Amino acid sequence: MKRVMPEPYKIKSVEMLNILTEEEREVAIKEAGYNTFLLNSEDIYIDLLTDSGTSAMSDEQWAGMMRGDEAYAGSKNFFRLDKTVRELFGFKYMVPTHQGRGAENILSTICIKEGDYVPGNMYFTTTRFHQEINGANFVDIICDEAHQPSRDDVPFKGNVDLDKLQVLIDEVGADKIPYICVAVTVNMAGGQPVSMANLRAVYELAQKYEIKVMFDATRCVENACFIKDREEGYKNKTIKEIVFEMFSYGDGCTMSGKKDCLTNVGGFLCLNDEELFSKAKELVVVYEGMPSYGGMSGRDMEAMAIGMEESVQYPYIKHRLTQVEYLGQRLIDAGVPVVKPIGGHAVYLDARAFLSNIDQEQFPAQALAAAIYKDSGVRTMERGIVSAGRDKVTGENHKPKLELVRLTIPRRVYTYAHLDYVADSIIDLYNKRETIKPLEFVYEPKQLRFFTSKFQEIS
Ligand code: P61
């Protein structure tokens, strides 16, 4: 039997969990309108809603927080973070923000003109929102395989399809494309990575037309580990070297520090262009705070700098990917339909295949996420038609090919025993899946509806 590497850390402080009965959970999910975002955290046993801001910090990070310099301007922690980011990523300038969407807001505002097109390797909710509100049309240029959940023979399903990019450039003209947004890894595709060869090729094509490449760096360390494990020529490179090379094929990035930076809050924007940097600093003071804190406290910036250094250590990141893969493999072995190959931060259930009797307009992934909570106290997230929202022109539901439920693994929080419980519960539920009922809206907010919408069961 293949030996599983246990956690490369030991537990120093614990948070006791509440375990509700199934009857209590049934009441809780009904009150939450069958929306797992609206559950109280105290009613949850294992929280796989997100890996965002849910990491366990190390003793070094907690110690670093005591060194927080809470000066309004020029905090020493900013200079450490700035140096760490520039050394690891190689971009010239960094602007701190309160979290990833703060950076997306600034980038979209300074780069996009009404009527522009922003191609990207699949949409992300907040990223597309900021692009569209600034007048751009998002165009999906990810490879076709990314939309095929059961295709497991593609190691880099997050890759950009260069032909799709070329077609767009030919159709709308390079001057209508302020930048190409390349996410590493691709969250909505199942945490799928992009290869170094693809990053290099995208940058070459972009440079030919003088189009900028802006990364969504949110899970770049996970992407780097996939490159080390799967791409020829990278086995003997360090994660740090791989991250640095990845970002050499671009002009900047947005970053949600709440994921790979191993902190609970924060983010930043990186740029190479001095003029854009200057515009970004003008906006950061309006939306976030001084350019030397951007909505973070000094202690947050210190914890982030330390977290970034820890995140590029191979034993940590390899263990993380192995944990996610372990949960995925247990489900695959039991015949539960999941997105393959298993991604970096989460296992994604294929809700269309899981609940083939429920029509997409009756929200199968939403219904499945609610049923999982009721059954086992495990909180997951819908990533399907509800998350995709409505077309900004026609008002029709976007109907994504992927109708998924995400089991997101927080960093350094759960053990293999927790993951076994999750796997056992989902396998049980799969065997009684015909008991799960479809849903209909009782409240639908206009923007980013998945966060606060409410549903009821259709019996
Ligand atoms: C998540 F349901 N992700 O995955 P911010 N880019 C990428 C992200 O994954 C991301 C952001 C930018 C979250 C939190 C979240 O529809 C949702 O720091 C690839 O959260 O502002 C965030 O970074 C934004 C959950 C966000 C959602 C939007 O759980």
User: Is the model's pTM score more than 0.85?
Assistant: yes
Nearest-atom index, ligand 1, CA of 187 = 19
Cβ(35) to ligand 1 under 6 A? no
pLDDT value at residue 2? 65
The yes-or-no answer on residue 383 being catalytic is yes
Nearest-atom index, ligand 1, CA of 219 = 19
- Choose the residue to mutate in 51, 97, 126, 383 for probing ligand 1, maximizing ligand atoms within 8 Å of C-beta: 126
Amino acid at 77: N
The yes-or-no answer on residue 432 being catalytic is no
Cβ(25) to ligand 1 under 6 A? no
Cβ(289) to ligand 1 under 6 A? no
Cβ(187) to ligand 1 under 6 A? yes
Ligand 1 centroid to Cα of residue 126, in Å, is: 7
Amino acid at 437: K
Nearest-atom index, ligand 1, CA of 387 = 16
pLDDT value at residue 150? 92
Among 9, 59, 72, 428, the active-site one is: 72
Ligand 1 centroid to Cα of residue 340, in Å, is: 21
In angstroms, the CA 170 to CA 399 distance is 27
In angstroms, the CA 284 to CA 280 distance is 6
- Residue 456 CA, distance from chain mean position: 28
Cβ(258) to ligand 1 under 6 A? yes
Residue with tokens 């939450």: 32
- Tell the residue nearest (CA) to atom 7 of ligand 1: 218
Nearest-atom index, ligand 1, CA of 256 = 18
Cβ(145) to ligand 1 under 6 A? no
pLDDT value at residue 392? 82
Half-sphere exposure of 364 (CA within 13 A, CB side): 20
pLDDT value at residue 5? 76
Ligand 1 centroid to Cα of residue 99, in Å, is: 9
Query: Nearest Cα to 171, choosing from 213, 112, 119?
Result: 119
The yes-or-no answer on residue 322 being catalytic is no
Nearest-atom index, ligand 1, CA of 258 = 18
pLDDT value at residue 3? 65
C-beta separation of 97 from 295 below 8 A: yes
Q: Determine the number of helices (DSSP H) and then strands (DSSP E) in the chain.
A: 16, 14
- Tell the residue nearest (CA) to atom 16 of ligand 1: 125
What pLDDT tens digit does each residue of the chain (459 aa) get?
566 778 999 999 999 998 999 999 999 999 999 999 999 999 999 999 999 999 999 999 999 999 999 999 999 999 999 999 999 999 999 999 999 999 999 999 999 999 999 999 999 999 999 999 999 999 999 999 999 999 999 999 999 999 999 999 999 999 999 999 999 999 999 999 999 999 999 999 999 999 999 999 999 999 999 999 999 999 999 999 999 999 999 999 999 999 999 999 999 999 999 999 999 999 999 999 999 999 999 999 999 999 999 999 999 999 999 999 999 999 999 999 999 999 999 999 999 999 999 999 999 999 999 999 999 999 999 999 999 999 988 999 999 999 999 999 999 999 999 999 999 999 999 999 999 999 999 999 998 999 999 999 998
Query: Exposed, middle or buried: residue 407 (CB in 10 Å: 0-12, 13-18, 19+)?
Result: buried
User: How, if at all, do strands 346-350 and 454-457 pair?
Assistant: unpaired
Cβ(105) to ligand 1 under 6 A? no
In angstroms, the CA 156 to CA 77 distance is 36
Ligand 1 centroid to Cα of residue 274, in Å, is: 27
Query: Exposed, middle or buried: residue 322 (CB in 10 Å: 0-12, 13-18, 19+)?
Result: middle
User: Cβ atoms within 10 A of the Cβ of 235, count?
Assistant: 10
Cβ(185) to ligand 1 under 6 A? no
pLDDT value at residue 187? 96
Instruction: Give the pair of three-digit tokens for residue 235.
Output: 């086995």
Half-sphere exposure of 441 (CA within 13 A, CB side): 13
Instruction: Give the pair of three-digit tokens for residue 311.
Output: 């995140």
In angstroms, the CA 402 to CA 400 distance is 5
- Tell the residue nearest (CA) to atom 2 of ligand 1: 451
DSSP assignment of 309-343, as one string?
HHHT-HHHHHHHHHHHHHHHHHHHHTT--B-SS--
Query: Nearest Cα to 191, choosing from 160, 162, 230, 218?
Result: 218
In angstroms, the CA 37 to CA 447 distance is 15
